[in-house]
């Protein structure tokens, strides 16, 4: 099999959307390595599990024997690293998993990639890329009037999650600088869309609203995030893989700054329209303010002008169009939602929100 890429974490939210979009848009083979932790869900990939272009392998990026075996067998021209623990609240309650996966796992993966790349021919070396998918949270928090984060912004991570991702970003940069490995790093803003595990804000609010549960909003709900529709993110990654300059960083944002409370109220408005409550009341009546997250960053915003200028990417979806597509998807896929909500997930929701 020729012209193969390896994707790590391809059963997670962004990874699964990338796998699906890659097969739709590129039509080339993809090897999908995923450990299948709580957020990895093969149901998200059900439509391509029998596609011969999609090779799924259950494994850990920290397992060198596994990764080396994949490289020997499939000879990829690129590796796209989505594999990560990614939920801030989980990192506050249990940071060890984040260090092990996001820091040590990335290190082990980089070592395997470096060994593989060193043995490639000159032409293969020039073509090869290692693309590391990261987050805007490594930059810390912005004040209301601060300019958005750029690729030159100082790293100031404020949670165990963002600190672990910052460490992995630095490792990737160091392997490019020290060993000449052709690396690329993308730092994205808050993703939303189909297939997102229902612990994150938007799917949690949709699911809770439909079940007539409280809609828990941290603090005063005035925290600001930039929202990026996941399929726009996937398109950006494909374009960076093709046209990005090695050792460069590209920020990917949706140009959609929004207060958390406003996001929740927009979800309620769409649900009022698409699936009204039986009693005729608005879902907004279920909103409840809860104790804020420790060290909660107040504002993130991404300046995505570099990727537009150098590569020609910009998001297709507005927040309004993307959110409507997202709500529609969840309304039409509640079976998927119910299957991913395991006992462990319910225990987590109780642990995180029960005492707030």
Active-site annotation holds for 136: yes
Per-residue CA distances from 334 to 49, 198, 208, 328, 329 (Å) = 21, 11, 12, 11, 9
Q: How many beta carbons lie within 10 A of that of residue 43, not counting itself?
A: 15
User: Annotated catalytic, 161?
Assistant: yes
**What distances in angstroms separate CA 171 from CA 24, 42, 45, 176, 323, one per listed residue?**
32, 30, 30, 9, 35
C-alpha torsion 313→131→12→157, nearest 10: -90
Instruction: Report how far Cα 333 is from the mean position of its chain's Cα atoms.
Output: 20
Residue of 34, 60, 137, 265 marked catalytic: 137
Q: What are phi and psi of 283, to 5 degrees?
A: -60, -15
Q: Strand pairing of 224-229 and 257-259?
A: antiparallel
Q: Which residues share a beta bridge with 229?
A: 192
> Within the chain, where are the H helices?
13-25, 64-74, 88-93, 96-98, 106-118, 122-127, 160-179, 201-210, 230-243, 260-274, 305-311, 319-332, 334-340, 343-353
**Which candidate in 139, 161, 175, 300 is catalytic?**
161
> Does 250 participate in catalysis according to the annotation?
no
Q: How far is CA 9 from CA 23, 258, 269, in A?
A: 16, 28, 33
Q: Would you list the DSSP string of 246-260?
A: TT-EEEE--S-EEEH
CA 194, CA 223: separation in Å to the nearest integer? 23
Question: What is the spatial distance between Cα 236 and Cα 100, in angstroms, rounded to a whole number?
Answer: 28
Cα separation of 109 and 38, whole Å? 21
- Selected catalytic residue, list 136, 257, 265, 317: 136
Q: Which residues are catalytically annotated?
A: 136-137, 161
């Amino acid at each position: 099999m020729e012209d193969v890429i390896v994707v790590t974490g391809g059963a997670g939210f962004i990874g699964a959307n990338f796998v699906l979009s890659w097969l739709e848009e590129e039509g080339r083979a993809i090897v999908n390595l995923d450990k299948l932790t709580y957020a990895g869900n093969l149901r998200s990939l059900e439509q391509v599990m029998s596609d011969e272009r999609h090779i799924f392998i259950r494994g850990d990026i920290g397992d060198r024997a596994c990764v080396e075996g994949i490289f020997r067998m499939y000879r990829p021209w690129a590796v796209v690293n989505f594999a990560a623990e990614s939920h801030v609240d989980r990192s506050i309650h249990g940071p060890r998993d984040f260090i092990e996966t996001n820091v040590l796992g990335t290190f082990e993966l980089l070592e395997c990639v470096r060994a593989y790349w060193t043995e490639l021919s000159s032409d293969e070396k020039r073509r090869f890329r290692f693309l590391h998918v990261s987050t805007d949270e490594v930059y810390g928090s912005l004040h209301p009037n601060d300019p958005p984060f750029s690729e030159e912004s100082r790293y100031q991570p404020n949670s165990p999650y963002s600190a672990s991702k910052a460490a992995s970003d630095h490792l990737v940069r160091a392997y490019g600088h020290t060993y000449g490995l052709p690396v690329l790093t993308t730092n994205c803003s808050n993703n939303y869309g189909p297939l997102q595990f229902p612990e994150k804000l938007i799917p949690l609010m949709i699911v809770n609203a439909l079940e007539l549960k409280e809609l828990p909003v941290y603090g005063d709900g005035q925290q600001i995030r930039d929202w990026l529709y996941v399929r726009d993110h996937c398109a950006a990654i494909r374009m960076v893989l093709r046209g990005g300059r090695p050792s460069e960083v590209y920020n990917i944002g949706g140009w959609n700054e929004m207060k958390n409370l406003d996001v929740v109220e927009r979800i309620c408005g769409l649900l009022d329209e698409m699936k009204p409550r039986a009693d005729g009341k608005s879902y907004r009546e279920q909103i409840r303010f809860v104790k804020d997250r420790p060290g909660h960053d107040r504002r993130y915003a991404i300046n995505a002008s570099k990727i537009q200028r150098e590569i020609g990417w910009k998001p297709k979806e507005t927040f309004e169009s993307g959110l409507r597509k997202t709500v529609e998807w969840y309304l039409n896929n509640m079976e998927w939602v119910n299957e991913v909500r395991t006992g462990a997930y319910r225990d987590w929701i109780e642990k995180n929100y029960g005492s707030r």
